Amino acid sequence: MKTILYISSSARQFTPEQVDHQSISRALGEAFIQEFKVHYSQTEVIYRDLSVTPPSFISTDFLAASFGDDSKGEQQAVLAESDALIQEVIDADVIVLSSPMYNYGMPAVLKAWFDQVIRINKTFTFDLARGDKPLSPILSGKQLVLLASWGEFDFKKGDSQYFMNHLTSHIEQLAPYLGAERFFEVASEYQEFNDKRHLESKAQAFVEAKVLARELALT
């Protein structure tokens, strides 16, 4: 059996029967999951919709508890949400993040999720004996897939405006702390222009998402 943790984060929803104002990143996510299941029938999907259930922002109590003694009852309560979200990451073989670009980066709900799951002694250790690189991930062996949509263009890796894309670069930098050994991105561009370039980019993104789903299902 393979387990996919599917995190969605767009403020827009996706329902196949509607036409207007549909989330493209969510549509890419649905296509990826469907194709993965075609090639690997024993797939379990954990759905985590961050716009329907936004993670809490971390607080003073959260930090005190996460850096403190894990065994105290009150500390366990403040960490319960984080524990549950981390368990979903631990259980996953493939983590699929569907995300819009908001203000050149990730949506706040997705950043709140990362702040909940990247936690000391749970997903990374910190040891000054390692010198100037004291952080080390705990989890391993996972694949991370980012399925993204944005309104402008030339934001893909290697393209001229990639330096403005703080969505992909940020998530790729965090990937090891989720235990991801490989990072993949598929993106649809030009949404704000709603022209031929957008239709072509979107169609290409669906093709790439399905090819990637097949590849990851069969490896």
Q: Which residues are annotated as a binding site for FMN?
A: 10, 23-25
Tokens 């649905």 locate to 30
CA distance 91 to 70: 21
Listed residue (179, 68, 54) closest to 116, CA to CA: 54
**Strand, helix or coil for residue 63:** helix
User: Which residues have CB under 8 Å from 178's CB, separation 6+?
Assistant: 89, 95, 117, 118, 123, 139, 142, 144
DSSP 10: -
Residue selected from 4, 5, 10, 122 as contacting ligand FMN according to rule CB under 6 A: 10
Tell me: does residue 96 bind ligand FMN (CB under 6 A): no
* 176 lies in the site for ligand FMN, by CB under 6 A: no
| Nearest residue relative to ligand FMN (C-beta) | 100
Rule CB under 6 A: is residue 25 a binding residue for ligand FMN?
yes
* Alpha-helix residue ranges (DSSP H) falling in the chain: 24-39, 60-67, 73-78, 80-91, 108-117, 166-174, 196-218
The answer to the question of residue 191 lying near ligand FMN (CB under 6 A) is yes
Closest contact distance (angstroms) between CB of 154 and ligand FMN is 10
State in angstroms the smallest separation of the CB of 59 from ligand FMN: 25
- Based on the shown chain and the rule CB under 6 A, indicate whether residue 111 belongs to the binding site for ligand FMN: no
Looking at 18-26, 36-44, 114-122, 175-183, which segment touches ligand FMN (CB under 6 A)? 18-26
Annotated binding site: 10, 23-25
Question: Is 37 a residue that touches ligand FMN (CB under 6 A)?
Answer: no
Which residues bind to ligand FMN, rule: CB under 6 A? 10, 12, 23-26, 100-104, 149-152, 191-192
